[in-house]
Amino acid sequence: MHAGQGASNGLMAENPKKDVTKIAAIMAMILIAAAIGSYLVWHSGRVMSVASAYFAKTLCSGVFVAGRSADDIIAEDVMADMTVFLKHWDADVDRERRVVRSSIFGFVERGAIYRPGLGCTLVTGTTVDALADQAGDYTPPALVGRSAGLLWPEGSRVDTEVMSGGVDAVKLKRAVDSAFAEPYPKRLPRRTRTVVIVHNGRIISEKYADGFKPDTPQIGWSMGKSVMNALIGTLIADRRLETETKGLFPEWSANGDPRATISVDDLLRMVSGLDFDEPHTRMLSDVRTMLFLKGDSAAYVKSEDPAMPVGKSWFYASGSTTLLASAMRDAIGGSQADYFTYPYRALFAPIGMTSAIIEPDAAGTFLAPAFAYASARDWARLGLLYLNDGVWQGKRILPEGWVRSSLAPTPHSQGQYGAHLWLTVPAFLRPASASQHNIPEDAFFMLGHDGQMIAIVPSRDLVVVRLGLSRRRNAWDHNAFLSGILEAIPER
């Protein structure tokens, strides 16, 4: 009895240390689990907020900018190729106030407001009423109608029966029709919505999917970057800005801040070295955070730290375009209304892009890296401006030599990028197993997410516009499509 009691006491004397260790380990595991749980809740909340914002913004622009039905946009744009998770979202379109709200079971609500001439803006860090009052004395530009008796681009008449000399009409039709074919409709839907072919300055072929017309504004996604190239060019022509201008923002003015050495040209060529994470494949990448979670997109990008020395590396970054939009705002000066009207006064009206808009963020900065809209014919006008070296019907819009300098290959880009213009179709926008195609060396491109393209081929006097919703990488091949068009077009 005493021996057993002694043994028991001996065991009791050793257990406290082991118990403390076990308790500490358990507490550590609980804290780690709590931290992981908190992070997952925080991360999931932000992911849902991005999804809800995308839903609200896409629906708002589709209804009020493109003039399409809400049901079509939800079915064909928002839900296309999306997970079941997104299908639990609800949306409300207030046509009287021109506000769209999206939520999941009433939670994670995000909203967007439409303002005439400005398109839709996410209500982030502000209110609908504040955004309605933001523009001050801004009034939407008065749209000038085009004469129905004149051929495009002087007027609105298109005669595709009159072919330019040497064009093979049969091959051209075959190539255009092929863009709308769906060889793998379930697995790899192409969803081509528009094709417009311009040769010798005239539209020689165009085709539209059901629900889309020649005057339907369509999103260009990153083709808006090339719009920014043009706008910066107009500011340089007006001597309000220079490509070598540095010290762009007060936020970078601290002594020794390497960002103060970033120039306008560095941003155009995307060699700023800023740590901006672009891939759309990551739900909370910098580009999605900037577009869908931040009310002041420029402030977000300005806060990015350098990842590399300026000019020593190239990586595609939409944040560079946002910074250019902010620098443009400073160069224009004046009121918010002056900034809002500038793209129309300096670029869109002079070349007849009367359907074009660039949607701003809640702080009033144009989100040119993603949210530019125009009809297919107006996107073709932009391509024609660049085909003609920045001259529109005898009037110089862009500085002499601007297009040529913009097409100079950017160091470290492997010859694929200029200054907000693509010199080739990059690998990440081509099918993984794409075939090689003989594209003329002088061809260059304005490219956007989901398969948007303006191809400019000076040696063929050719502009090709393709707009669609090809979300899956292998669904669409820009080079294969362009190659088919080129087979029908003679060299100059």
* Domain endpoint, select from 133, 153, 184: 133
The span from the CA of 73 to the CA of 305, in Å, is 38
* CB neighbours of residue 173 within 10 Å: 14
The verdict on 270 and 124 lying in the same domain is no
CATH of residue 239: 3.40.710.10
Closest CA to 470 of 239, 214, 185, 207: 185
The verdict on 333 and 443 lying in the same domain is yes
The span from the CA of 123 to the CA of 377, in Å, is 31
What the block records as the tokens of 306 is 């350098």
Q: What is the mean pLDDT of residues 166-171?
A: 95
The verdict on 174 and 228 lying in the same domain is yes
The span from the CA of 382 to the CA of 214, in Å, is 15
Q: Where are the beta strands (DSSP E) in 52-189?
A: 89-94, 99-104, 107-115, 119-122
* Per-residue pLDDT, 161: 86
Q: How many domains does the chain have?
A: 2
Is 151 part of a structural domain of the chain?
Answer: no
Is 152 part of a structural domain of the chain?
Answer: no
Listed in sequence order, the DSSP H helices in 388-427 are 402-406
The verdict on 261 and 382 lying in the same domain is yes
In which order are the strands placed within the sheet that holds 372-374? 218-219, 372-374, 357-358
The verdict on 94 and 196 lying in the same domain is no
The verdict on 200 and 329 lying in the same domain is yes
Is 419 part of a structural domain of the chain?
Answer: yes
Q: Which domain holds residue 23?
A: 16-133
| 372-374 vs 395-396, strand pairing mode | unpaired
- Are 138 and 345 within 8 A, CB to CB? no
Is 424 part of a structural domain of the chain?
Answer: yes
**Cβ-Cβ contacts under 8 Å for 298 (sequence gap 6 or more):** 322, 323, 325, 326, 361, 363, 365
* Domain endpoint, select from 133, 155, 177: 133
Is 116 part of a structural domain of the chain?
Answer: yes
The verdict on 98 and 180 lying in the same domain is no
The verdict on 129 and 182 lying in the same domain is no
* Residue 223 region by backbone torsions, left for phi larger than 0, else alpha for psi between -120 and 50, else beta: alpha
* Domain endpoint, select from 133, 157, 186: 133
Task: Give 435's pLDDT tier (boundaries 50, 70, 90).
Answer: confident
Report the mean per-residue pLDDT for the chain. Answer: 91
CB burial readout 351-377, b (16+ within 10 A) else e: bbbbbbbbbbbbbbbbbbbbbbbbbbb
The helix/strand count (H/E) of the chain reads as 14, 14
Range in 79-83, 145-149, 350-354 with the lowest mean pLDDT: 79-83
* Per-residue pLDDT, 95: 97
- pLDDT, one tens digit per residue, over 206-250 is 999 999 999 999 999 999 999 999 999 999 999 999 999 999 999
Task: Give 257's pLDDT tier (boundaries 50, 70, 90).
Answer: very high
Place of tokens 């029966």: 161
Q: What is the mean pLDDT of residues 282-302?
A: 93
Single pTM value for the model: 0.91
Q: What is the mean pLDDT of residues 38-49?
A: 66
Is 380 part of a structural domain of the chain?
Answer: yes
Residue 398 burial class via C-beta count within 10 angstroms: exposed 0-12, middle 13-18, buried 19 and up: buried
Position 17, amino acid: K
The verdict on 306 and 204 lying in the same domain is yes
Is 139 part of a structural domain of the chain?
Answer: no
Q: Tell me if residue 218 falls in helix, strand or coil.
A: strand
- pLDDT, one tens digit per residue, over 418-430 is 999 999 999 989 9
The verdict on 175 and 120 lying in the same domain is no
Torsion of CA 49, 50, 56, 60, to 10 degrees: 150
The verdict on 177 and 223 lying in the same domain is yes
The verdict on 259 and 373 lying in the same domain is yes
Is 329 part of a structural domain of the chain?
Answer: yes
User: Is-cis flag, bond preceding 189, omega within 30?
Assistant: no
**Does residue 12 surpass a pLDDT of 50?**
no
The span from the CA of 41 to the CA of 421, in Å, is 40
